[in-house]
Amino acid sequence: MNSTLNKFSIAPMLDLTDKHCRYFHRILTKQTLLYTEMVTTGAILFGKGDYLEFNSQEHPVCLQLGGSDPKALAKCAKLAEQRGYDEINLNVGCPSDRVQNGMFGACLMAKPKLVADCVAAMQAQVDIPVSVKTRIGIDELDSYGFLCQFIEQVSSYTNTFIVHARKAWLSGLSPKENREVPPLDYERVYQLKRDYPHLTIAINGGIKTIDEIKQHLNYVDGVMIGREAYQNPLLLTQIDSQIFGLQTPIIDAKSAILALYPYIEKQLLQGAQLNHIMRHTLGIFNGRKGAKQWRRYLSENAHKKGAGLEIVEQALTFIQ
């Protein structure tokens, strides 16, 4: 039931953490737990297309599910385990209207028994860990007592929680505003760990540097970062040595792009478009001379029909 994988993880981000993104991030860090975008049970069970696809090099990788029907979640969890995922995570944190209309995401915080039933149903079907990603509260339900009631009910079936240290406003704020407007309350997440020391608690929200990650790890079991990992991916090259204590060589930005070449060639042969792969790499040279030209050249050319590795090679010539 326990998860040992989430000392450091990269958050599930809609339209960002797809298989190309995860493959690139895995080049930068071998130990980090990678998350899929949130995938709804409906998409997996009834959608056209393979919503469970991932590359074998991505391990350890966690599938984040969105849904509130225990039977559908259990079925999807089983399919994910069969496909080789290392962990399942239930989304109880996303505040978007689309999510609420489907009765999943942050609105589920108000229904802890249903969340517990969902987790129990998944646990009954799989041997891999099932975790829950949540907020510290929703709307007016934002007391510490409310959070504890939620955790106590759900922790009967999982001992691993990733807690975004902001509450969510279910109306009036966009998903982007919900990541920025409600104030961060790290202390509340620390208190959760102190009051429930037997649980695995990871913290998420507004974390940007290695020093901040280390600071949080003094109080909780794990740290998850999202936008910063995506916008400044070079940060990830420090994780294995600084956070996991490994003596592995740190890959530099240029080598990381070169290491992506075989993957790019393979994906292009399978019909992928270059820009769908390279958009995840745009921030790798941030702060370096030529970074702006690198981004511009890829943005202007990678989407063109037939664009291949020659576009990447040309873009690299701008980097000094």
Q: H helices of 61-125, where?
A: 70-83, 97-101, 112-125
**What domains does the chain contain, in order, with CATH numbers?**
8-242 (3.20.20.70), 253-316 (1.20.120.1460)
Catalytic residue (one of 76, 94, 107, 118): 94
Q: What pLDDT does 3 receive? A: 43
Q: Which residues on adjacent β-strands are paired with residue 66?
A: 40
In sequence order, the 6+-apart residues with CB closer than 8 A to the CB of 44 are 51, 52, 65, 76, 79
- Average of per-residue pLDDT across 153-157: 97
**Over pLDDT 70: what percentage of the chain?**
96
Let me know if 94 is a catalytic residue.
yes
pTM metric for this prediction: 0.94
HSE of 188, CA atoms in CB hemisphere, 13 A: 22
Whether 315 shows a pLDDT value over 60: the answer reads: yes
- pLDDT(101) > 70: no
pLDDT for the residue numbered 180: 80
Identify the residue with better confidence: 176 or 294. 294
Checking if the pLDDT of 161 tops 90, the result is yes
Residue type, 42: G
Number of neighbouring beta carbons within 10 Å of residue 291 = 18
